[in-house]
């Protein structure tokens, strides 16, 4: 130490929380690269002094569904309208021009009520003509009757031959037949006059009117439709895939859109023997018990149970479907190892509610329903709770999920 100045003989290096002290004499002995090596060594010492950091696996949250056992039965539901069991399409029994309509839609009728009339003028003339013909036939019967009696008297006195008597008798019989024919023609003409009035023959309510005043209709043309009071039924259209499930006598449930609390026990009464040419569906009629709350024209929903004999497919959410190496897969969760594994599947069809899987899944499998893009083979997961079951025959996947941590 000279000149009254004392230089530091030690160099202190600070690396984070680690301090390294080197004497100046040691630093002078190191080559040019020495300081760098010292720094590296000091950094190594600093790293060793840090606390050891524990690395934990990052578990990504996902959602899962559990495939439940398929139901042995399935529910069928079809909508239809309430109608009377018996509906009469009433029309005139003769041809003519409608001159009067006396009922409107919704009006109640009883036996004998006149619904409509046609012009009776021509039929009145027919009655007059038939009466005249009958009058002439009556006179002819009287004339031939007198001739026959005279022939009988002459034959009894042997003033005429038997052939003359037989001819007189034959003429009388022919006149009687003509009179009877004229009488029947008169009765028919009178009936036709009565047919100019269209009358109801049963209690009911008018549901439709298909002809009006001024229209010329033929005999049998429907003019008014009357729904007969009594038993009501629901008419539904069933496709050929389900028609085998509907047999006469089958018990069903009927509910109504107008009243959710109204539910009735119905019974299949009639099944059409052939499909409709346009819709290719079968008409099925379901009888309903008498209830004043059920009105004609109401919309009803018919529910029936059917055996689930078809090939059962598992339904999963669309978000559960993934691809790996060009193959469609799902990620299943191993409950024991708490890991996920890729499983190839065969898709049956895509629906609005999800995916139907034909092969690859069975009841009890737990499938990742969301987050499949983050899944890898043997990824560790931990179930937060039991997965919600989803029926193998169900289509609803809205709430059948459970978060996995």
Instruction: Give the pLDDT confidence score for residue 403 in this predicted structure.
Output: 37
Q: In the prediction, which pLDDT does 355 show?
A: 83
Q: Residue by residue, what is the 3-state secondary structure of the chain?
A: CECCECCCCEEEEEECCEEEEEEHHHHHHCCCCHHHHHHHHHHHHHHHHCCCCCCCCCCCCEEEEEEECCCCEEEEEEEEEEEECCEEEEECCCCEEEEEECCCCCCEECCCCEEEEECCHHHHHHHHHHHHHHHHHHHHHHHHHHHHHHHHHHHHCCCCCHHHHHHHHHHHHHHHHHHHHHHHHHHHHHHHHHCCEEECCCCEEEEEECCCCCCEECCCCEEEEEEECCCEEEEEEEECCCHHHCCCCCEEEEEECCEEEEEEEEEEEEECCCCCCCCCEEEEEEEECCCCCCCCCCEEEEEEEEECCCCCCEEECHHHCEEECCEEEEEEEECCCCEEEEEECEEEEECCCCEEEEECCCCCCEEEEECHHHCCCCCECCECCCCCEEECCCCCCCCCCEEEC
Query: Does 391 have pLDDT greater than 80?
Result: no
Highest mean pLDDT among 3-7, 79-83, 355-359: 79-83
333-341 average pLDDT score: 83
- pLDDT over 50 (residue 84): yes
Instruction: Specify if 8 maps to a domain.
Output: no
Q: Which of 273, 290, 307 is the last residue of a domain?
A: 307
pLDDT digits (tens, 9 = 90+) for 114-171: 999 999 999 999 999 999 999 999 999 999 999 999 999 998 988 888 899 999 999 9
pLDDT value of position 263: 92
Per-residue pLDDT for 34 more than 70? Answer: no
Are both 279 and 172 inside the same structural domain? no
| Residue 39: pLDDT over 60 | no
* Mean of per-residue pLDDT scores for the chain: 81
Question: Domain tally for the chain?
Answer: 4
Percent over 90 (pLDDT), the chain = 47
Residue 216 located in a structural domain: yes
Assess whether pLDDT exceeds 90 at residue 179. Answer: yes
Check whether 202 has a pLDDT greater than 50.
yes
Residues 130 and 188 in one domain: yes
Shared domain for 162 and 105, answered yes or no, is no
Residue 135 covered by a domain: yes
Last residue of a domain, one of 255, 283, 307: 307
Domain boundary (174, 195, 216) is at 195
Is 234 found in the same domain as 217? no
What is the mean predicted confidence (pLDDT) over 185-198?
94
Residues 6+ apart with CB under 8 A from 344: 327, 328, 329, 360
CATH number at residue 214: 2.40.50.100
Domain check: are 222 and 127 in the same one? no
User: Within a domain: residue 301?
Assistant: yes
- Are 216 and 181 members of one domain? no
* Residue 212 located in a structural domain: yes
CA angle 327, 329, 330 (to 5 degrees): 170
| pTM, two decimal places | 0.53
| Torsion sign (Cα): 162, 167, 168, 169 | positive
Taking only the tens place, the pLDDT of each residue in 87-105 is 999 999 999 999 999 999 9
Contact 404, 369 (CB under 8 A): no
Give the CATH number, domain containing residue 334: 2.40.420.20
pLDDT at 396: 41
Who wins on pLDDT, 401 or 135?
135
Instruction: Tell me, yes or no, whether 168 and 186 share the same domain.
Output: yes
Instruction: With a cut of 80, say whether residue 248 has pLDDT above it.
Output: yes
Residues 277 and 378 in one domain: no
Which of 171-180, 222-231, 306-315 bottoms out in mean pLDDT, i.e. has the lowest? 306-315
- Examine the domain organization and report whether 165 and 261 are in the same domain: no
Residues 172, 234 within the same domain: no
Assigned token pair, 405: 């941590």
Look at residue 126 in the predicted model and tell me its pLDDT.
94
Mean pLDDT throughout 18-46?
51
**17 is a domain residue:** no
On whether residue 54 sits in a domain, the answer given is no
The answer on 250 and 206 residing in a single domain is no
| Range(s) of the domain holding residue 258 | 79-83+230-307
pLDDT at 101: 94
Q: How far apart are CA 160 and CA 79, in angstroms?
A: 88
Q: Between 364 and 154, whose confidence is greater?
A: 154
Q: Is the pLDDT of residue 57 over 80?
A: no
Confidence at 398, pLDDT banded by 50, 70, 90: very low
Q: Which residue has the higher pLDDT, 179 or 66?
A: 179
Least confident of 66-75, 101-110, 203-212: 66-75
pLDDT at 311 > cutoff 70: no
| 72 belongs to a structural domain | no
Residue 147 sits in a domain whose CATH number is 1.10.287.470
Assess whether 202 and 100 both reside in one domain. Answer: yes
pLDDT at 2 over 50: no
Average the pLDDT over 377-399 and give the result: 56
Select the more confidently predicted residue: 378 or 384: 378
């Amino acid at each position: 130490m000279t000149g009254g100045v004392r230089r530091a003989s030690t160099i202190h290096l600070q690396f984070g929380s680690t301090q390294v002290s080197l004497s100046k004499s040691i630093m002078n002995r190191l080559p040019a690269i020495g300081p760098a090596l010292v720094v590296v060594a000091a950094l190594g010492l600093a790293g060793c002094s840090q606390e050891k950091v524990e690395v934990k696996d990052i578990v990504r949250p996902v959602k899962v569904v559990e495939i439940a056992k398929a139901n042995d039965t399935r529910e069928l539901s079809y909508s239809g309208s309430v109608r009377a069991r018996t509906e009469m399409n009433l029309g005139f029994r003769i041809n003519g021009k409608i001159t009067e309509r006396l009922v409107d839609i919704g009006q109640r009728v009883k036996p004998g009520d006149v619904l409509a009339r046609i012009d009776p003028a021509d039929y009145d003339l027919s009655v007059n003509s038939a009466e005249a013909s009958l009058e002439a036939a009556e006179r002819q019967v009287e004339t031939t009757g007198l001739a026959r009696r005279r022939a009988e008297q002459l034959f009894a006195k042997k003033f005429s031959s038997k052939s003359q008597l037989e001819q007189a008798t034959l003429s009388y019989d022919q006149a009687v037949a003509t009179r009877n024919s004229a009488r029947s023609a008169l009765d028919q003409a009178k009936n036709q006059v009565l047919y100019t009035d269209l009358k109801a023959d049963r209690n009911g309510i008018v549901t439709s009117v298909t002809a009006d005043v001024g229209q010329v209709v033929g005999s049998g043309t429907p003019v008014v439709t009357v729904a007969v009071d009594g038993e009501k039924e629901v008419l539904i259209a069933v496709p050929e895939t389900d028609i085998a499930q509907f047999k006469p006598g089958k018990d069903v449930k009927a509910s109504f859109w107008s009243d959710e609390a109204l539910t009735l026990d119905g019974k299949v009464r009639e099944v059409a023997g052939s499909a409709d040419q346009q819709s290719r569906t079968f008409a099925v009629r379901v009888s309903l018990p008498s209830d004043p709350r059920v009105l004609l024209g109401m919309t009803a929903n018919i529910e029936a149970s059917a055996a689930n004999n078809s090939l059962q497919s598992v339904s999963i959410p669309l978000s559960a479907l993934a691809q790996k190496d060009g193959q469609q897969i799902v990620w299943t969760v191993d409950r024991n190892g708490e890991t996920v594994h890729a499983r190839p599947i065969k898709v049956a069809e895509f629906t609005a509610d999800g995916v139907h899987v034909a092969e690859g899944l069975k009841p009890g499998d737990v499938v990742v329903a969301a987050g499949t893009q983050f899944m890898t083979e043997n990824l560790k997961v931990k179930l937060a709770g039991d997965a919600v079951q989803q029926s193998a025959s169900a289509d609803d996947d809205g709430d059948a999920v459970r978060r996995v941590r």
